[in-house]
Chain A
Amino acid sequence: MDATGTLAGVLKGEGPRVLATLARTIGDLAVAEDALSEATITALDAWPRTGIPDDPRAWLAVVARRKALDLLRRESARAAKETAACRWGTGAAPDQIEEAIEAMEPQTSLRDDMLRLIFTCCHPALSREAQVAPSLRTLARLEVPAIARAFVVPEATMAKRLVRARAEIAAARIPYAIPADTELPGRLAAVLAVVYLIATEAHAPTGGPAVARVDLEAEALRLARLLASLMPDEPEALSLLALLLLTSARTPARTDADGNPVTLAGQERTRWNRAAIAEGSACLSEAVTRSGGVAGPYQIQAHLAAAHSTAPSWQQTDWDRIVGLYDLLASITASPVVALNRAVAVIERDGPEAGLAALTAIAGLEYSHLWHAALADNLCRLGRTSDAAGAALAVPAATAEGARSRHRGP
């Protein structure tokens, strides 16, 4: 492979980790991002001439770190970090540099670089989309379309919001600094949202033909586990872990032998991961105990996932309970996507007539191909095939508008 191809591969696979580690060691995400960009430019210039290094990732990490220290040295306000940067500049040995960097590492119980990066991005002065966007871009390479989808708004709207957020970050000087331990609980809700959105993307990737992204799914699970152990008193952290375990347990059955997607109704339930379901159920029980009867949105979603995971078949699913859980969820987070999932459950419980009323009552999903698809499917069941064809035809037109609001399954 040529130098540029190797570089692209390293950036894709290892870029997020290099960046997260750099952000931790220098304590500043913006500087880390600039430094990695500069290191990439250096690599583009150097590798074709000198050959691809034996360990491209390590090369990139070392050069990016040097660039970061250069950047910090240029910033006069950072006295302590400048001292370390100068030490580097005077030809210090690598272990001395490590020592200098360790010395300026802030006190924190966030041992994981990725998790630290997410907490750093989730500054409480930022809007939720501005909190989650940098983490999603860095960790999961998710850009505006995926973020727009997650927030159920058109891409152009989300792009505008993020541009405005960047301007606000600059004007208000909102720093990307690793938060102190006392600040962590205040950022948890945003951090949980990031992990949830990574899992959502893993469950239904924005681009490409894949039914699921198992690499992202594993990373989301890993982060959820870390959060649950980092904050054992937070029931929503445990509930999110339960939710991800219960939904990822179904991944093996979501494609058939030819790799075609299989919906929940048609899945071979023997192919579900029973160990993950058992662990998820145990986490959920624990979360229920700790929450003292006040269920948060992740706990309700975990209950929904559990209701499906423990049902012997689609037909024998407890639809009454599922509709009830969606009602509860809607009372906390009124969202058209929740309403859509509820309507699908109403169809199963009460039949297509009642389902049609529930579907048509939903406002705000005109952009969603899922809503049009559900409507078309339901009209078919009612025998209104020509209406169904009309609804089905509206699908491509609606998705072309931009904001596809796919979402994780029930």
Chain B
Amino acid sequence: MALYVALCYYDRDQSWDSVPDPEFTPEYTEFARRATEAGVMRGGEALYPVTMSTTITVSGGKGGDVLVTDGPYAEAKEVLAGYFLLEAADLDQAIAWAVQIPAAWRGKIELRPVAPAHA
């Protein structure tokens, strides 16, 4: 088995600023329920909109000057809105679950394998 992160992207305008349609929450609840029952779900969270982002950099190496700015790191048309952590036998299985995440048709999903932590 391997772990994958399904990153959920939405159009910037679509995310939070507009009132979600009534199907929005039930769709996610339904996906989370099925993925949990199947033992695929290993975690996941929704994020507040990018307008609430804070970007931080430490210049001049570790311990250097801290620069805190309001807003996202990059002005992108598509923004990260949340993620799911999925456990699957292989990429094809992970894809089969990812296509069921509402972001797949409401926006885009980026699926990435999780690198094992080094002890």
The answer, yes or no, to whether A392 is at the interface (CB within 8 Å) is no
> Of B90, B113, B115, which one neighbours A175 at CB under 8 angstroms?
B90
Which residues of chain A from 123 to 140 have any CB-CB distance to chain B below 8 Å in the complex?
123, 125
Distance in angstroms from A182 CB to nearest chain B CB is 12
The answer, yes or no, to whether A294 is at the interface (CB within 8 Å) is no
Contact A172 B113 (CB under 8 A): yes
Distance in angstroms from B7 CB to nearest chain A CB is 14
Contact A173 B115 (CB under 8 A): no
The answer, yes or no, to whether A174 is at the interface (CB within 8 Å) is yes
Given contacts A172-B113, A173-B2, is CB(A125)–CB(B89) below 8 Å?
no
The distance in angstroms between the C-alpha atoms of A75 and B6, with both chains bound, is: 27
- By CB atoms of chain A within 10 A, which of B90, B91, B115 has the most? B91
The answer, yes or no, to whether B92 is at the interface (CB within 8 Å) is yes
- By CB atoms of chain A within 10 A, which of B88, B92, B95 has the most? B92
The answer, yes or no, to whether A257 is at the interface (CB within 8 Å) is no
Chain A residue with Cβ nearest B95? A125
Distance in angstroms from B88 CB to nearest chain A CB is 8
The answer, yes or no, to whether A93 is at the interface (CB within 8 Å) is no
Distance in angstroms from B93 CB to nearest chain A CB is 8
Distance in angstroms from B17 CB to nearest chain A CB is 33
The distance in angstroms between the C-alpha atoms of A175 and B93, with both chains bound, is: 9
Distance in angstroms from B6 CB to nearest chain A CB is 13
**Interface membership of chain B positions 80-99, coded 1 if the CB is closer than 8 angstroms to chain A and 0 otherwise:** 00000000111110010000
The distance in angstroms between the C-alpha atoms of A49 and B90, with both chains bound, is: 42
Which residues of chain A from 172 to 186 have any CB-CB distance to chain B below 8 Å in the complex?
172-175, 177
Contact B90 A174 (CB under 8 A): yes
Distance in angstroms from A57 CB to nearest chain B CB is 32
Which residues of chain B from 93 to 114 have any CB-CB distance to chain A below 8 Å in the complex?
95, 113
The distance in angstroms between the C-alpha atoms of A174 and B111, with both chains bound, is: 12
The answer, yes or no, to whether A77 is at the interface (CB within 8 Å) is yes
Task: Please indicate the chain A residues that have their CB under 8 angstroms from the CB of B88 in the complex.
Answer: 173
The distance in angstroms between the C-alpha atoms of A175 and B89, with both chains bound, is: 9
The distance in angstroms between the C-alpha atoms of A172 and B90, with both chains bound, is: 7
The answer, yes or no, to whether A171 is at the interface (CB within 8 Å) is yes
Contact B90 A171 (CB under 8 A): no
Which residues of chain A from 143 to 199 have any CB-CB distance to chain B below 8 Å in the complex?
171-175, 177
Contact A171 B113 (CB under 8 A): yes
> Of B2, B92, B113, B115, which one neighbours A177 at CB under 8 angstroms?
B92
Chain B residue with Cβ nearest A183? B92
The distance in angstroms between the C-alpha atoms of A77 and B115, with both chains bound, is: 22
Task: Please indicate the chain B residues that have their CB under 8 angstroms from the CB of A123 in the complex.
Answer: 91
Distance in angstroms from A72 CB to nearest chain B CB is 14
The distance in angstroms between the C-alpha atoms of A172 and B115, with both chains bound, is: 9
Residues of A whose CB lies within 8 Å of any CB of B are 77, 123, 125, 171-175, 177
Q: List 13 A-B contacts (CB under 8 A).
A: A77-B89, A123-B91, A125-B91, A125-B95, A171-B113, A172-B2, A172-B91, A173-B2, A173-B90, A174-B90, A174-B91, A175-B90, A175-B91
Other than the given A172-B2, A173-B2, A174-B92, 18 more pairs (CB < 8 A) read A77-B89, A123-B91, A125-B95, A171-B113, A171-B115, A172-B91, A172-B113, A173-B88, A173-B89, A173-B90, A173-B91, A173-B113, A174-B90, A174-B91, A175-B90, A175-B91, A175-B92, A177-B92
Q: List 3 tightest A-B contacts by C-beta distance, closest first.
A: A173-B90, A172-B113, A175-B90
